[in-house]
Structure formats: C-alpha cells, structure tokens
Structure 1
Amino acid sequence: MTGYLVEPASVEGLRARFDGRVVTPADHDFDNVRGVFNAMITARPQVIAQCATVRDIKSALEFARDRHLPVAVRGGGHSVAGACLVDGGLVIDLRRLNAVTVDPGAKTATADGGATWGDFDRACQPHGLATTGGRVSTTGVAGLTLGGGSGWLERKFGLACDNLLSVDLVTAAGREVTASEHENADLFWALHGGGGNFGIATRLTFRLHELPEFSIALMLWPADQGRAVAGVYRDLMHAAPDEIGGGLLFLTGPPEEFVPGHLVGKLCCGVLVTCIGPETRLRELIGPLLATAPQGRVITDIPYADLQCMLDDPPGFRNYWSDENLRELPDEALDRFCERAEDMVVPSPSQHALLPWGGAVASGQEWPGFDRDTKWAVHPLGLWAEPADDDRAIAWARNLRADMRPWACGDVYLNFIGDEGADRVVAGYGPENYQRLQRIKAEYDPDNVFNRWHNIKPA
C-alpha cells in the first residue's frame, strides 16, 4: 500500500468541508459504492469521495496529496482493468456530477464528468441530435471519450473524441484549466485518446449531428452457419456507405422473443447492422444477409437512445477484453476467427466480435491513438460468472489475438483492453505520439498522480 492508514478524524475533517459524501469501509454500503462493472476487480480504497462539485474534487485531491495516497477517478466504472479503483488509496467518484445540457441551435452538448452515455443520449434524443458514444448506456462519457470513443455512429460521425470541442480539467495540483483548439492546444490534442492521464475531466463539450431517423437489423443464425454469414458480412461492409455500422459476433443465444427456442443458451452467430436512415433504406442494404435466412431477426426503426440501452451488459460478471486491429480480412482470417469462437464460455454474455472501422474514423489521423486506416477490429469481450472459468476465458481471448496476428497492424485501441503491459500502451499511440504525450504529461502531472489508465509516464 502506498501512503498511510487514514485516521477517522481526518476523514471527518474532509466530510466537514465536502458538499458530496465521503464513504469509507466503516459505512454499511461501502461494498455497494465500491462495486464496479468487472467483478474480477477487488481493490479496496480507504476513502471514496463522492463529489458533488468541482470544489469537492479539489478538496479530495488535496486530501490525497497531503497523505501520499494513490488516486483513482471513477465515472461509469467500466474500465476492464479497474482503473476506477485503487487499493488503499482514494477514489474520486464523479457519479453525482452527471448533468447534460444541450444547445440545439448550436448543435452542441455539454456533459459533466460523471455523466453516462445514457444521460447524454436521452438529453439529445428530443432534439433529433446525437454524437458517437459508447455501445451501451452505462459507460461513462468522459472515460470513453478521452480514450478515443468507438461507437455505432463512428463510420459517419467519427469517434467521440473527434467531436470534442473543449474539456474542463482539474490537474493533480488542483488547478482548473480548459483545453480546446484555441486554448492549451497541446493538452487538447492529448485528450483525444490519452485517457485519464492528465487530470480529471469535469466538463466536456461535443459537436452534435442531426439524427432524425435511425434503424437496426439484429439477425441470428446457428453457430455452424457463422463462417458463411461472416463472408457475406465482410463483403457487405466493404461496399457499405458510411451510414451503416454495427458488427458480427458469436454469442450465447439470449432468451428474447425474436430468438427461436432451439438457439437460446447455445452458441450463435449474430449480426447487428445500424443505419442512419429509415428501415426501408436498411432493408435495401442488407439483402445479402437476409438471403442467408437468419433464424431470428428484428428489423425496425428505433430511437438511437433506445438501442444504446437495449444492449447494456449486466454488471457483476468477471471480465477480460482484448483487441487486435487488422489491415485486411482474407478468408483464412475469417476461418480462424470463426473456429476460435468454439472456445468461448457458453452460456455467458461473452461476445466474440468483429467490428468494422472505416468511413469517418479515418479522418482522425491527427490525434494520438490507433492507426485510423485500419479496416477491422477483432474484439474478444469476455464476461462470465464462475472463477473456475477464468483460465479458459482468458486463454480464448489471447488465442484469438494470436490467430489474427498475421493480418494485424500492430497497434491497439486501448479502450478495448485491460492491462496488457507497457509495450501495448506504446503500441496504442505509436512511439512518436507516446513521446509527445510524455512531454505533455510532465507539464500537467509531473508526479504521475493519474497513473491508473494505460499509464503515460512523464518525460
């Protein structure tokens, strides 16, 4: 443990000047407050500061600094590596700071640092506006965006960070700064993929896009048809307009109305196609997939915010995720991808996913992060219940990555992975970008206080 044992009297002193709530292991609901999305993360902080104001954030940082306590920052709590918790330290919990304000005339939205994408999308929906967000509603806006921000709308609107207009930040020293194209521009560059390495984001402003119509097709086949479906899907996405997004995945057939009984609880191949446009347009584009006779399907117009909530993964499972970005996707790669699905833990909520990049994603080459010219991401997203399955689930994800290496770019989208070592962090930025990020880190966090998310060490 870094730092020292926090005395109850000092906690009471923090509480006396706090607008939010200060929680310790002595409180009856500590475990509930401490709980995060990944049940494998068991870190126990000494103090959880549930901040209600920016002043609370600064007070909590000062408290930790004076006692040499390690610090973690919590928004949505979805970091698979557990970046939002720290053993023996202090967690700055932003969940009470979750307001979202929309300016429909300017087509912008401003989110507090603890807002989730559910908060954000629901605020934008009445105005027919949206921007690229996470693939589930419970993910934090700040964490996803600062790490890049992949989502269903990215092929048309770019990543979440590509739509970032400004960020208000509290540095490790307690200084409030604003980063934008015209103010602290180096820091603004670093926040387009550099994660939580530079401070605590208290407010983020985004560019919004008109989204008057949105539709989806969710289709399901038995797993033994997966390879044939994958080939059709690959060819469809190579020619698809930027309005089309989604992904192909192997998954456990869920107990939903559209799923035939014989597929429930079994390994299946699924395809989600999202469309910025009406159902009629979507049906025209997915004709080749429909020709393969999916055994379960839903094709419908749907509010974008409803899709985001529909796919929420349940908390409380054990998690292991990884990523391999591909330059190309030949038949041999598809063969290996589909064969490796047999190693998944089934039944479970795990997803053996193939996601298309392309379109507007490629417009963000000026930012740090993965090579935007990459064509596909292979993303094993493991969620399972029993510790006895840990070794099998982790081996499945690692073996899938190894299978894909002949066609891999060598980089990685860091929001898709846990702690895979310092070399993978550098690969996530590229060596030159990493060195620039180190120099910026030295300016805003020279003591490396914010070191929990794929750490960039100060130059």
Structure 2
Amino acid sequence: MPDEQRATSTAAVEQAIADQLRSSFRGEVIDRRHPGYDKARAVWNGLIDRRPGLIARCSGTADVVEVLRIAREHRPVVSIRGGGHQVAGSAVCDDGLVIDLSRLKGVYVDPAARTARAQAGVTWGELDRETQLHGLATPGGEISATGIAGLTLGGGLGFVMRTFGLSCDSVRSLEIVTADGAVRTANREEEPDLFWAARGGGRGIGVVTSFEFDLHSLGPLVAAVLVLHPYEHAEAVLRAWRDATYTAPETVTSEIVLWSVPADPGIPQELHRSNCVIVGAVYGGPPGDGATAALAPQHELGPPLIDLSGTLPYVVLQSANTPRFPDGERYFMKSHFMNELNDEAISTMLDWDSRRPTPESLIVIRTLGGAVARVDPDDSAFAHRSARYNLSIDAGWRDPALDEAAIGWARSAWDAMKPFSSGGTYVNFAGLGEDASELRGAVFGSHEERLERIRAGYDPEGLFVSAARRP
C-alpha cells in the first residue's frame, strides 16, 4: 500500500476508534489534535519519542473493558501505560492505541491483615506514603517515581529484596482484564496460570488494573550504609565488597555503584561530578545494635571519601535517588545476571567504566540471594532466582547529539561483560530496540515456553502481541 493510502487508512481507523470511545468512555480521549497530546505521550525516558494515534486515559476498570472491546474490533497496535517509567518506553507505541492507567491512583491499606490494594497508576512513592503510616512496606524499586505495575510485572529488584524478596513475591492477587474483555482475579487459587505469568513475565498478558500486596514490618526508620570511596581505590573496594557479599545475612541488601559524586549542597563543591565508588546497603529490620553489626562489613571496605551512613525514614531512602534520574533526560540500560564476580570481571568492568560517556552514566551491581533465592524457581515467571548478582549498565545523558556515543558505550560494555554472565537478562533493564527474539530466551529462560502458552491461551488473536514482543 502506498504511504499516502496507508496514512489515510490509519487516520480513518483512529477516527473510528475515537468516535466510539467518546460515545462510551468515561475517561479522557486524547488524539493528535488534543492540546495535551505531546505531554500525554511523553514518558520518563526522554529518548522515547513515539506518536500514538490515540491515548485512552481510563477512569477505572470499566473503561479498560470498553477500550479493549473497541480495540478487538479495529485491531490497532496496543500499548499499556502505568507509571510511564519503564526504560524502554513500551508504554507508548507509534500510530496505535495507548491504554493509559496513570489516573488510577487508589490505595487501600489494611494494617490488621497487612495487605495493600493499589491501582495500576500508583507509583512506589505513593504506595510507600500510605503503607508507612502503619510501619509497613512491600518491597519496591529504587526510584520512588517508578510505577508499581511495570516494576512488579517484570519481577521487581529493590533495596530490601534479600530480606523480603522481589516486588512480585509479595503479590497476593491482582485484577486483570484479558483480551476478551473479561475482568479476572488472579491468585494461587483463581486463574493460577495468569498469576504465575504476571509475576515476572513482563508485558503482554492483559491489562492489570490493580494489585494486592502482602506488607512487611519495616520502618518508619531504617538503618542504611551510604559510603562514597575514592576512585583510585575502586578495584580494592570492589573486591572487598564482593567478599563481604558472600557472608552477608539476609537482612542486608547491598549494592555497589561506579558513578560520579552528586552535586549536592552537603558535599564539597570541588568533589562534584568526580568519579567515585558508592557502596549502599539497607538493613531490612529495626535500626539498632543488630543493624549496626550486620551492616558493619559493608561500612568498612576502605577509607571513605564521604560517609553518609545512618538511620533515616524509609520514605526518604526510597526517594533519595529520584532526583538523580529526572524526567525527560535520556536513558539506556542493559543488564546481566551473574553467579560470580571474579577479578577478571572486576577489571573488565573498571575498564569500561573508565570510558563512561557522561557523569550521569553508571555501572551498578546489586546482590540477590536471600529471600529471592528461597522462592521455588518455578513459582513465578521470574527466571533468575539462583543468580548472586545483577549487573546493570546505565547510560544517562541530556544532549541528543550524544545518543550514538551513549548507547554505543552501554552496548559495548554489556558485550564485554557477557562472558561473566549467567546468560540471563532482567526484563526491566533489557535495552531499547534490541532484537526481541534474541532477548526472550535470556529474559525468561526455561519459563519462555510456558509463558508463551499462557499468553496464547488468553489472547489467541494476538491483541497484545506487540506489547509482549517489545523488549
């Protein structure tokens, strides 16, 4: 079909969908002519510049059912937006229909039952604010602006995962609208296949409209280590940190970051944006002598450049990194799961860190194990429970002229670290525009076949196929 005819056909389909939505939809319908279109199509990652035909901003589950009914009739490309923070920008598609859940902000906490029900547009900061009123938390991510939906569906690495598991491990049930428009409750007894797939299977199984989480006793204050080490000691600190992870108790979740000193007012200006090694660790229990003793090996890895360790509110901990990753800047992230961190891997990582294209770029290693590894490997679609570490190579920059250099650095560093990988990749840090067919085995491992069967069973006509295949 010639381009002109294709454009005419696309416009006609968009208009038909818009007309039907406006007659039956309680939410907001945003088309290309809407004054808020550019703001509505923008997501956290400024590298994403997609132009959907329509954005259906839902007011509730009934709107989701209605938009899927219309989508089944007209068969546009479909994407689903929760918090809009996913690195690869899969919330937005070109020339298709965005099912936007960002206005679904309800949170209900039952402190007696230690559960929370939260709708799919809620962010981790919003959920933490409600649960911490009761000294309770469910393990979330490391950026408070991240949506609960995308992070949880991909597994959910976070600051207290060795103590309480991944975000998906605390999911008790969820409400999901499948491709046929049915509103289903998925838990261990009802729709168990959907429940399995939604915990680590990523996108493309339906539209999850709410989550019920188990809550854990944590906060309002927590003990944490945050030590910035001089960069000239990087290799020694990395080796010492690796050795400390072997004996760390499950109450301690730690990570190490090759980054630049943040330009904070509390840090001497002459250190701003200089290279450093950052060690962070969180104790997943009440602060006190027990926390101090458990965190000591993470705290004593070498002479500090700056020591910001101490006791702080859990909500402050969860939001501390958010300003470091502002909306609208450009991001590209790739990851490996690793079983070991040997000296050659450390040397290779430091070599590629020395080539970082911008001060905003970083390399981080997170420790797994503990509660993550205690879950049966086949209990959920998350396929990497036996890994000891997750390595994430995160390019960040502002100037579009640096796109090629920044993305090229991240991809090349990832390639260089591949010999040290277990072969697994975290779906939430899987790059952008990568070959999805090549990635799927690395992301889902031995669970890939079962996941595809479940998707095909609930979506035989492939309404969500574009979302499922997007890395």
TM-score, length basis structure 2: 0.92
Task: Identify the range of structure 1 (232-241 vs 363-372) with the bigger mean alpha-carbon deviation.
Answer: 363-372
1:123, distance to aligned residue in structure 2 (A): 1.0
Aligned equivalent of 1:361: 372
CA contact (8 A) 2:79 2:467 kept: no
Q: In the alignment, is the contact (CA less than 8 A) between 1:125 and 1:303 conserved in 2? A: no
Corresponding residue of 1:339: 351
Measure, in 1, the Cα distance between the counterparts of 2:301 and 2:180: 60
Instruction: Give per-residue Cα distances to partners, 1:385-432, cap 9 Å, x unaligned.
Output: 11222222222222222232332111112112134321211221124x
- 1:259 paired residue among 257, 267, 286: 267
What is the SS of the residue equivalent to 2:309? strand
Q: What is the distance in 2 between the residues matched to 1:280 and 1:306?
A: 21
376, 393, 398: which one aligns with 2:389: 376
- 1:426 matched to 2:445? The reply is no
1:31 aligns with 2:27: no
Residues paired across the two proteins, number:
455
- Which residue type is aligned with residue 10 of structure 2? Y
Q: What pairs up with 1:293-442 in 2 under 5 angstroms?
A: 293-312=303-322, 313-348=325-360, 350-364=361-375, 365-366=377-378, 367-419=380-432, 420-421=434-435, 422-431=437-446, 433-442=447-456
Q: What do residues 163-215 of structure 1 show as CA deviations (whole Å, max 9, x unaligned)?
A: 11111110112111111100111111111111222100011111111114412
1:272 deviates by 1.2
Distance of aligned partners of 1:57 and 1:389 in 2 relative to their CA distance in 1, 3 Å threshold: same
Counterparts of 1:45 and 1:302, CA distance in 2: 42
Q: What is the aligned-residue identity percentage?
A: 37
CA distance in 2, matches of 1:291, 1:376: 19
In structure 2, how many angstroms separate the alpha carbons of the residues matched to 1:11 and 1:346?
A: 43
User: SS state of the match for residue 270, structure 1?
Assistant: strand
- Runs (5+) with no aligned partner, structure 1: none
Match for residue 137 of structure 1 among 129, 144, 147: 144
Describe the shift of the 1:239–1:73 C-alpha distance in structure 2 as closer, same or farther (beyond 3 A): same
Q: Write the distance in 2 (CA, Å) between the matches of 1:291 and 1:115.
A: 38
The counterpart of 1:278, out of the listed 287, 301, 304, is: 287
| Contact 1:327-1:409 at 8 Å conserved across structures | yes
Name the structure 1 match of 2:3. none
Check the 8 A contact 2:358/2:396 in 1, yes or no: no
Cα RMSD (Å) of the superposition? 2.0
Gaps of 5+ in 2: 1-5
Aligned-residue offset at 1:7: 5.6
Does the 8 Å contact 1:437/1:456 carry over to 2?
Answer: no
SS at match of 2:10: coil
Once residues 50 and 291 of structure 1 are traced to their aligned partners in structure 2, the CA distance between those partners, rounded to angstroms, is: 49
Secondary structure of the residue aligned to 2:424 is coil
Residue 4 of structure 1: how far off its partner (Å): 2.3
Q: Deviations over 1:44-69 (max 9, x none)?
A: 01111111111111222223332221
Instruction: Give the drift of 1:295.
Output: 1.3
- What residue number does 1:238 align with? 246
TM score, norm. by length of structure 1? 0.94
What secondary structure does 1:343 align onto?
Answer: coil
Q: Give a deviation string over 1:292-342, Cα, whole Å, max 9, x none.
A: 221112112122222111111201111110011111111121121122111
Write the letter of the residue equivalent to 1:129. L
Contact 1:414 1:454 in 2 (8 A): no
CA distance in 1, matches of 2:175, 2:357: 42
Aligned counterpart in structure 2 of residue 83 of structure 1, from 69, 90, 95: 90
Do 2:82 and 2:102's aligned partners in 1 also have CA atoms closer than 8 Å?
yes
